[in-house]
Amino acid sequence: MKVTFPHMGYMYICLKALFNYLDIEVVVPPMPSKRTLSLGTQHSPEFACLPLKINMGNFMEAYEKGADTIVMAGGVGPCRFGYYAQVQREILKDIGINMKMVVLEPPQKHISELLIKVRELTGSKSWFDVVRAIRFAFNKACAVDEVDRIVHKIRPREIETGAVDLVLAEAIKWIDEAQNKKQLDEVLKQAKNELASIEVDYSRRPIRIGIVGEIYVILEPFVNLNVEKHLGRMGVEVERSIYLSEWINDHLFMGLLKMKGNKSARELAPPYVNHFVGGHGQETIGSTVKYGKEKYDGVIQLMPFGCMPEIVAESILPTVSREIGIPTFSLILDEHSGDAGVITRLEAFVDLLARKKEINDETKDAEGAFICADI
């Protein structure tokens, strides 16, 4: 059995670690590229949203590399994602690609439902090993997120453009290659040291933008055309509403671990959105409220073209923006690979926030108010 899975940002690191730990052979699909997109769009329904198409491309490219089993996440609720695995399985069958598909549905009642599915893949391995493997994979997700958070802080402050991204690429490689918890701890420490040694300008007070929206397009840089990197290089400190480790905890562990999750964001959504609208619609609104309260300068919503939950959120955002007093901007992502248009819009939004901040700072200075240095 050679297992593969779809890409979603750095998720491949966790899944690779999980399967390797259990001695299951794993085929990581090539990183999403224009070829992935072309293969995916060619074999997907035209009206499907972008993540489905990229997934399809991933599966086909993994098949070329010899994979025979797909591990795919399932879902519930109004978002189309819950139906992806079934649609993809049928398409693969139609085009003559024979692969087994194991769908990990989010547990409805108890985490054991997930473990039973995992058992399908692990065969004779003991429960003890399975739990340990999951824990190790989760540790990797946390490590990646920790590095990401530091990068968000220092990218806008780097003296030499691109310095942070060079270290980031290395750090991700080290985390990916770590074989056990001890090595992982070591490389994480090393990565943090390397990041700390990058020359940065701490006197700069960057604009702070919160990124909200649909999880796949937030986490997958190929799809969001590297917004975090572009914003960072423009001098913006970004924070995103969702991290991989939080998502795993919320959706697969049923929030068993005590860490920041989507619950806090959902609680802030009323009175704008009072109930679940599918996907991350409610979290998008809740997180926007949160960033507004935390005095961020602006919020960017990322959504795939045609995403229903995010369309609901998009239509509510102007009201939130007005009442909370935080500028928002919605970026719709689809098959376009040219980033010129996206950069133009991001630049204009950042300009808007920069001007606004300048004026606010001037009035604060004039009143002699206390200005907090944010680092």
Partner 1 sequence: MRGYLGVDVGSVSTNVVLIDEQERVLETLYIRTQGQPVKAIQKGLEFIRDKISTDVEIGGLGTTGSGRHLSSVILGADSVKNEITAHAVAASKLVPGVQTVLEIGGQDSKIIILRNGVVADFAMNTVCAAGTGSFLDQQAARLNLPIEEFGPTALKSTTPVRIAGRCSVFAESDMIHKQQMGHNLSDILAGLCEAMVRNYLNNVGKGKEILGPVIFQGGVAANVGIKRAFEKSLGLEVIIPEHFNVMGAVGAAVLAKEEVTKTGTTKFKGFKVADADFKAASFECSDCPNLCEVIEMSEAEKIIARWNDKCGKWSNAVAHRKKIS
> Site residues for partner 1, window 101-140 (CB under 8 A)?
none
**Closest approach of partner 1 to the CB of residue 332, in Å:** 6
Residue 183 binds partner 1 (CB under 8 A)? no
Q: In angstroms, rounded to a whole number, what is the distance separating the alpha carbons of residues 248 and 67?
A: 24
* Of the residues 162, 183, 196, 199, which one makes contact with partner 1 according to CB under 8 A: 162
Q: Which residues pair with 61 in a beta bridge?
A: none
Q: In angstroms, rounded to a whole number, what is the distance separating the alpha carbons of residues 62 and 67?
A: 6
Query: What angle, 0 to 180 degrees and rounded to 10, lies between the N-to-C axes of helices 181-196 and 127-154?
Result: 0
Contact 59, 27 (CB under 8 A): no
> Site residues for partner 1, window 72-91 (CB under 8 A)?
none
| Nearer to partner 1 among residue 15 and residue 200 (C-beta) | 200
Per-residue H/E/C for 278-319 = CCCHHHHHHHHHHHHHCCCCEEEEEEECCCHHHHHHHHHHHH
| Nearer to partner 1 among residue 180 and residue 360 (C-beta) | 360
Q: At 299, which helix (H) or strand (E)?
A: strand 298-304
| Nearer to partner 1 among residue 87 and residue 352 (C-beta) | 352
x-marked contacts with partner 1 along 185-224 as a string, rule CB under 8 A: -------------------xxxx-----------------
Choices 190-198, 238-246, 281-289, 352-360; region in contact with partner 1 by CB under 8 A: 352-360
Residue 344 binds partner 1 (CB under 8 A)? yes
Q: At 240, which helix (H) or strand (E)?
A: strand 236-240
Residue 2 binds partner 1 (CB under 8 A)? no
Q: In angstroms, rounded to a whole number, what is the distance separating the alpha carbons of residues 352 and 367?
A: 23
* Of the residues 23, 35, 83, 173, which one makes contact with partner 1 according to CB under 8 A: 35
The DSSP output letter for 106 is: P
Q: Which residues pair with 72 in a beta bridge?
A: 103
Choices 117-125, 143-151, 250-258, 350-358; region in contact with partner 1 by CB under 8 A: 350-358
**Closest approach of partner 1 to the CB of residue 29, in Å:** 11
Q: In angstroms, rounded to a whole number, what is the distance separating the alpha carbons of residues 311 and 219?
A: 19
**Closest approach of partner 1 to the CB of residue 347, in Å:** 4
* Of the residues 323, 334, 365, 374, which one makes contact with partner 1 according to CB under 8 A: 334
Q: In angstroms, rounded to a whole number, what is the distance separating the alpha carbons of residues 70 and 326?
A: 42
Dihedral angle of Cα 78, 79, 84, 87, to the nearest 10 degrees = 50
Write down the residue that tokens 């824990």 correspond to: 135
Residue 351 binds partner 1 (CB under 8 A)? yes
Q: What are the residues binding partner 1 (CB under 8 A)?
A: 30-31, 33-36, 156, 161-162, 165, 204-207, 233-236, 305, 318, 327, 332, 334, 340, 343-345, 347-357, 359
